[in-house]
Chains A and B, each alone.
Chain A
Amino acid sequence: EDQVTQSPEALRLQEGESSSLNCSYTVSGLRGLFWYRQDPGKGPEFLFTLYSAGEEKEKERLKATLTKKESFLHITAPKPEDSATYLCAVQAGTASKLTFGTGTRLQVTL
């Protein structure tokens, strides 16, 4: 059974204070690892897909990396508008379905 664990559950940062979110996974035959951002009361919004160990993707202040067992979402010099819940998900085998972690709730304060 595919498993995804995200840590920490919640993270509070001051504006400009860089940090990383962790997503560890156990799957048979990883096809893709996905990061989403979710604002309160809204559906998740796609950020990145990573396909193989060593791959990195960047978007503004966010950078996602992937190893054979985990992925990190690095947030550099965050701003209050980066406050959201960040979800990690994996796709494995021949299925199109995603298995999600429970998310990290990020709050960035002034």
Chain B
Amino acid sequence: DVKVTQSSRYLVKRTGEKVFLECVQDMDHENMFWYRQDPGLGLRLIYFSYDVKMKEKGDIPEGYSVSREKKERFSLILESASTNQTSMYLCASSRGRGHSYGYTFGSGTRLTVV
């Protein structure tokens, strides 16, 4: 059963901490994405990657960075966590460019920053 795995279901971090959210996919997908989901705002794209070591900003990249050292792993980094980054974070992957493929999502990480 192919899937996208997010390392933590729930996280509680303190303001100012550096936070790492990990995502691994086993489908050999080229594309990987990080979204956050908030009530009333829907899913908003933070960063995405089309290939190893490549990254592109999404709609709300401020306060975040990403790393993709291997094809199967895409990490989201909160450089200095703030309370307004409390949210559900969703990782997704999809097949290569030039085709209209949908995403496979992970189960999400609910992050609370206190």
By a beta-carbon cutoff of 8 Å, the part of chain A in contact with chain B is 31-32, 34, 36, 41-46, 49, 51, 87, 89, 91, 94, 96-103
Contacts and interface: CB of A to CB of B under 8 A. Distances in A.
Given A32-B100, A94-B97, A43 B42 contact: no
B7 to A, nearest CB: 14
Q: Looking at B4, B42, B48, B90, which has the most chain A CB atoms within 10 Å of its CB?
A: B42
Contacts of A94: 97-98
Contacts, number: 59
A34 B42 contact: no
A31 B108 contact: no
A40 to B, nearest CB: 11
A56 B100 CA distance: 16
Contact of B102 (A46, A99, A102, A103): A46
Contacts of B31: 96
Contacts of B33: 97
Chain B interface size band reads 20 to 34
A100 B42 contact: yes
Contacts of B101: 49, 96
Contact of A49 (B90, B102, B104, B106): B102
A102 to B, nearest CB: 4
Nearest to A42: B107
